[in-house]
A and B are shown apart, each in its own frame.
Chain A
């Protein structure tokens, strides 16, 4: 059994989009995008969400488009 890691509280997970084989992130899918929007309305960094760099770039573009179309908020409080 491996020794418990001291610093990591959250286990690093695999990229959700790779796992679910999503190769195009649609800005119209507000429900999907809202998983990556914490309460404040910011884009969740990938060091927390575990999203791979390719998908993080697509994701941030999609979130920005969704914000423009008032599907997601710019700031939420």
Chain B
């Protein structure tokens, strides 16, 4: 199982109810194939940076999924078939998140270990302030 972020833009001609129904349908597709929807983020209607299919705005929806490649393929197929989806993008994020966590942990380790050798050093400068760094 991998973590994906699937974002799509729905046409502004949809009603919010239709959009909710569509999101629910996509959720059932994911769950029917053994995936899990972690988060549904509905941004609502937002202006587009440029026109897509003559629309100037659209509903942004971001789904965070625990899924595998086959589920993403199926979702993208459905997005292509659905007329009211004007743009979509799927990004695999588990590796990026893992790396991000690793970097965070490394920074924390650094922050913990750093003050220890710095303490005796600070004592040396009790009488005289440290010389200004050479620019």
Closest partner residue, chain B, to A76 (CB atom): B49
- A51-77 contacts to B, CB under 8 A, are 65, 67-74
Chief secondary structure at chain B's binding surface: strand
A8 at the interface (CB under 8 A from B): no
B103 at the interface (CB under 8 A from A): yes
**Assuming the A-B contacts A68-B87, A70-B87, are A24 and B100 also in contact, with contact meaning beta carbons closer than 8 angstroms in the complex?**
yes
Please state if A69 and B103 are interface contacts (CB–CB under 8 Å). no
Closest partner residue, chain B, to A41 (CB atom): B49
- B73-97 contacts to A, CB under 8 A, are 87, 89, 91, 93, 96-97
Q: Which residues of A contact B48 (CB under 8 A)?
A: 70
Please state if A69 and B107 are interface contacts (CB–CB under 8 Å). no
Please state if B50 and A70 are interface contacts (CB–CB under 8 Å). yes
Chief secondary structure at chain A's binding surface: loop
B104 at the interface (CB under 8 A from A): yes
Number of interface residues of B (CB under 8 A): 21
Min Cβ gap B91→A in Å is: 7
Min Cβ gap A60→B in Å is: 15
Min Cβ gap B46→A in Å is: 8
Q: Which residues of A contact B96 (CB under 8 A)?
A: 24
Please state if A67 and B103 are interface contacts (CB–CB under 8 Å). no
**Assuming the A-B contacts A2-B135, A23-B99, are A69 and B104 also in contact, with contact meaning beta carbons closer than 8 angstroms in the complex?**
no
Q: A67-B49, A69-B9, A70-B9 are in contact. List 11 more A-B contacts (CB 8 A).
A: A23-B99, A23-B104, A24-B97, A24-B99, A27-B91, A28-B7, A65-B91, A69-B60, A69-B87, A69-B89, A70-B52
Nearest 5 A/B pairs, CB to CB: A70-B48, A23-B100, A73-B49, A24-B100, A23-B103
